[in-house]
A and B are shown apart, each in its own frame.
Chain A
Amino acid sequence: MIRASSLAAWNSCERALDTLFGGALNPLRHLGALAFLFFLLLAISGVYLYAVFDTSVEGAWRSIDDLSRDQWWLGGLLRSLHRYAADAFVLVMLLHLAREWLHGHYRGFRRYSWLTGVPLLLFAFVGAIGGFWLKWDRLGQFSAIATAEMLDWLPIFSAAFTRNFLGNEAVSDRLFSLFVFVHIGVSLLLLFLAWFHVQRISHAEMLPSRPLALGATVALLTLALLSPVMSQAPADLSVAPGELAIDWLLLFIHPVMYATSPGWAWALSAGTLLLLFALPFATRSVRPPVARVDAANCNGCRQCFDDCPYAAITLLPHPDGKPGNEIAVVQGELCASCGICTGACPPSTPFRSVETLTPGIDMPQSPIGALRAQLEARLAAMGGDHRIVVFGCDHGARASTVEGTDVAAFSLLCTGMLPPSFVEYALRRGATGVVVTGCRENGCEFRLGNQWTGERLRGARQPRLRSRVPRERLRVAWADRGEEESLHAALRELRKLPRAVSGPIRRLQRGMR
């Protein structure tokens, strides 16, 4: 209930930003890629900071403070960028997590990505907090002591950490080596885990498109210029910090601990992580059937392999034994049951003169042969001036809402399941127009379905919609649930066209009669 209303609110925000940015540049649709971008900025600025950082008690504060005072145009700028990129990283990571949760993307075949994503939260905060200690100012002192007090609350540590900060003489250069290890070591671990996190998706968007990357980087650089990060007074362990300008996005756990207790801070942080870990196991969902390969119809062309968004397909030697022949093999546990592979498979073209259309790869719950049969039956039964076919999907705008006497609507598992030749086939079989619809741009439930379909229809991706298909008879309307008005608009446009289809399709229509 809460999730449903939050999702509705989220979708409204996403759509509002779509109108400003367009789907390809909408930051809310590229949160994972933005996180990678901010990590890259962190790495670049971090390399410079590490090069000038003095890992000694005496030198740590000065080496960083000098950057802001004597070299604001490079070191100071990079230092500020480093901090702001860390804030931005944590922010987009939390938004990414929230978005995936709202969409229910933590169960089934996505469980792996969820479970490898949750620990990134921990690594991100630990790495970021460790960065504050390095500059060894009042804020670093506060954070280091708060962390030590929190760790020492655990019975295993016997107050070992807090004693490192009892007085200035207790702090040694060795401690700074530990700080460096925590900050850089944990950040590298985070990167390593992030690699696992994206392992099960193909064509992973590791960086956002150039305008989006540029916009985000310029925004942070401008902030770094206008409001540079400065060190607070040097740490002094004989004096307790009073009023502190604190980075709430990264250090909020410290005030939470002092407002409650270390036990509560642990309960909050460990409890949240455990809850997130448990989420995929708390809800049981019935897994739909996965894609199935038909050896007799698979020629090993690899198009399904190229287009599968979840890297669920591998190629193995074909059982027919012919040298060089390959066959697609579906790894069931990775398969999202989206059917995008069927849309990519050349033998799924409806023009094949076989009684039962069986492609190389198909979805048992929604075979492509059944789609052809239904399409033929519906077109044959339709009279009137206009016969419009709508191909939609189960996740975007509901195609069934426009069903009518002159409209035959079909809902696929994903729009990406539609072999583009079905558009030509429908027109040749008497349709006067075709609408293809699916989730909004960059909002595909299965990541790439509408992107691949768009490219196939434009002739930019295999299998292509042939150029002879009159494009004025085709409307593409990317629309989410509740945005069915876009379908009606597309239908209105098609109804305005003259009934007769012109050009080669018309000749072919005549030939088929």
Chain B
Amino acid sequence: MSRAFSWIGQILLYAAFAAFIGVFTRWPSYQHLQPDHALVKLSLIHHGQRVGECRQLSAEELEKLPPNMRAPMSCPRERSPILVEVDIDGDTVLRQAAQPSGLSRDGVASVYQRAEVPAGVHRFDIRLRDSARTEGFDYERIEVLELRPAQILVIDFNAGKGGITLQ
């Protein structure tokens, strides 16, 4: 094989290698969120309520405890699982039940889900159950919101801010 042919071949191969990298580092473009859609993120970390009521200890029960552990109330550590549902325009779009973390099930329960919705005006009905009840919800928030294209709406929970929050 002639030297010139070998040189040209090598240059072409290096060029093909570079072109392969150059192309696939940007093409084809990836459509992460559909045009004219917004993103709803349901993300909350929440302590469910205790599964049982706190109870006043009797004098005899207190007597049996070591002196440094004689708290007058006994509260069960275990927390309730939580259940969150989000209806958008009447359809349940997001729904997740979460168990409390920790070996004694006394930690936080966490929820994370996302949904793409067309931009525009929507009616949100968000419900959260964090107690041992089997029916109904402990918190509910209904809002009518207008979502811009590409907007991210975060649904969270903050007891200090009145429960379910939207941002």
Contacts and interface: CB of A to CB of B under 8 A. Distances in A.
Interface of A: 17, 19-21, 25, 27, 83-84, 87-88, 91, 142, 149, 152, 158-160, 162-163, 166-167, 215-216, 218-220, 222-223, 226-227, 229, 237-250, 255, 258
Interface stretch (B54-62, B83-91, B104-112, B132-140): B104-112
A239 B110 CA distance: 23
Interface in B128-156: 149-152, 154, 156
Nearest to A142: B32
B143 to A, nearest CB: 17
B15 A219 contact: yes
A150 to B, nearest CB: 11
Contacts of B29: 243-246
A241 B24 contact: no
B112 A223 contact: no
A79 to B, nearest CB: 13
Contacts of A20: 1, 6, 9-10, 13
Interface string B7-23: 00110011101111110
B154 A166 contact: yes
A240 B21 contact: no
8 contacts: A17-B13, A149-B114, A167-B154, A219-B18, A227-B22, A239-B150, A245-B27, A246-B26
B101 interface: yes
Contacts of B9: 20-21
A226 B25 CA distance: 14
A162 B43 contact: yes
Contact of B43 (A91, A163, A226): A163
Given A159-B111, A162-B112, A240-B32, A248 B152 contact: no
The 8 A-B residue pairs whose C-beta atoms are closest, nearest first, are A159-B110, A20-B9, A219-B14, A223-B18, A245-B26, A240-B39, A246-B30, A219-B18
A133 to B, nearest CB: 16
A225 to B, nearest CB: 11
Nearest to B14: A219
Contacts of A226: 22
B32 A244 contact: yes
B33 interface: yes
A158 B108 CA distance: 8
Contact of A249 (B24, B101, B150): B24
Interface in B32-80: 32-35, 38-39, 41, 43, 45
Given A17-B13, A215-B10, A242-B32, A220 B18 contact: yes
Q: Which of B18, B30, B114, B151 has the most CB of A within 10 A?
A: B30
Contact of B33 (A166, A219, A242): A242
A215 B6 CA distance: 13
A113 B145 CA distance: 58
A91 B21 contact: yes
Main secondary structure of the interface of B (DSSP, over half): mixed
- How large, as a class, is the contact surface on chain B? 35 or more
Contacts of A158: 45, 101, 107-108, 110
Given A149-B112, A167-B167, A249-B21, A243 B154 contact: no
A27 B18 CA distance: 13
Contacts of B1: 19-20
A163 B35 CA distance: 25
Contact of B38 (A223, A240, A249): A240
Given A20-B9, A21-B10, A238-B152, A244 B43 contact: no
A215 B13 CA distance: 10
Contacts of A220: 18, 21
Nearest to B26: A245
A166 B41 contact: yes
A159 B45 contact: yes
Contact of A163 (B6, B19, B45, B152): B45
Nearest to B110: A159
Contacts of B156: 166
Contacts of B39: 240
Contacts of B32: 142, 240-244, 258
A91 B20 CA distance: 10
A223 B30 contact: no
Contacts of A258: 32
Nearest to B1: A19
Given A159-B110, A163-B43, A240-B151, A222 B18 contact: yes
Contacts of A240: 32-33, 38-39, 150-152
B72 to A, nearest CB: 33
B14 to A, nearest CB: 4
Given A215-B10, A240-B38, A166 B150 contact: no
B10 A166 contact: no
A239 B18 contact: no
A159 B112 contact: yes
Nearest to B30: A246
Contacts of A247: 24-26
A242 B150 contact: yes
Contacts of B35: 242-243
A269 to B, nearest CB: 18
A496 B38 CA distance: 82
Name which of B31, B34, B152 has the most chain A CB atoms within 10 A of its CB.
B152
A25 to B, nearest CB: 8
B14 A215 contact: yes
A227 B114 CA distance: 35
Contacts of A227: 22
A226 B111 CA distance: 46
Contacts of A88: 17, 21
Contacts of B114: 149
Contacts of B27: 245
A25 B7 CA distance: 12
B23 to A, nearest CB: 9
Contacts of B26: 245-247
Contacts of A248: 24-25
Given A158-B108, A245-B26, 5 more contacts: A17-B13, A21-B9, A219-B14, A245-B29, A255-B30
A135 to B, nearest CB: 14
A219 B26 CA distance: 18
